[in-house]
Chain A
């Protein structure tokens, strides 16, 4: 089946520092990856959509300067949260899509970011 791993599962960083999180697809080729942030209230915010060999599309309120994403191959993507502050806390989820014409996203367990 389609499995998505995320690392680390949980991280704590000091305000103003940066942290990198990874997303690994196992058993399938993740042609596209979506990064979301889930708030403590459980709502989802889409950060960006990344397709291999295409430009990464960021949503309003999220920028490459703040959330740089790398998607070098069909099984791996990473995102960094630069200069993290309290409002950046949450569960960061990676949703991987199988194939260009598939609409289903398979999610990893998330990276929970706490900012002190």
Chain B
């Protein structure tokens, strides 16, 4: 079945440094790929999504490119801030079979130190 694998956390960075969270996926179909962010006490919030291969998504300084050949969707940010501390989830949705279920990775806890 479909699956998503991402960088195991926790990840601790200093403010102003760069972030990369690796995400790889497995599916036989043509999924839409997502990054969600979850802050303490809240549900996951959509950071951005990319429905097509070879396209890039971005929001709030975060970005990721849908790499179909490498089956990857790595999250990057050039300069993290303390407010970026949260859990980040890579996910895919494959609607081609009629199911729109989201398959989540295990999450990456990010802590940014001031």
Contact of A108 among B32, B43, B49 (CB under 8 A): B43
Contact of B102 among A4, A6, A95, A101 (CB under 8 A): A95
Min CB–CB distance B22 → chain A (angstroms): 17
**Contacting pair A107 B45 (CB below 8 A):** yes
Interface hit among B12-20, B62-70, B74-82, B93-101 = B93-101
**Contacting pair B100 A103 (CB below 8 A):** yes
**Contacting pair A42 B101 (CB below 8 A):** no
Asked if A71 is at the interface (CB within 8 A of a chain B CB), the reply is no
**Contacting pair A46 B43 (CB below 8 A):** no
The DSSP consensus for interface residues of chain B is strand
In the complex, per-residue mask of A57-85: 1 if CB is within 8 Å of any chain B CB, else 0: 10000000000000000000000000000
**Contacting pair B42 A103 (CB below 8 A):** no
Contact of A34 among B38, B45, B101 (CB under 8 A): B101
Min CB–CB distance B34 → chain A (angstroms): 8
The CA-CA distance from A32 to B32 in the complex, in Å, is 17
Q: Which residues on the A side are within 8 Å of B102 (C-beta)?
A: 34, 44, 46, 95, 105
Min CB–CB distance A32 → chain B (angstroms): 7
Q: Which residues on the A side are within 8 Å of B45 (C-beta)?
A: 107
Contact of A93 among B43, B46, B100, B107 (CB under 8 A): B43
**Contacting pair B42 A109 (CB below 8 A):** yes
The CA-CA distance from A104 to B101 in the complex, in Å, is 10
The CA-CA distance from A43 to B104 in the complex, in Å, is 8
Asked if A49 is at the interface (CB within 8 A of a chain B CB), the reply is yes
- In the complex, the 6 A-B pairs of residues with the closest C-beta atoms, listed nearest first: A107-B43, A103-B93, A44-B104, A42-B107, A103-B32, A109-B43
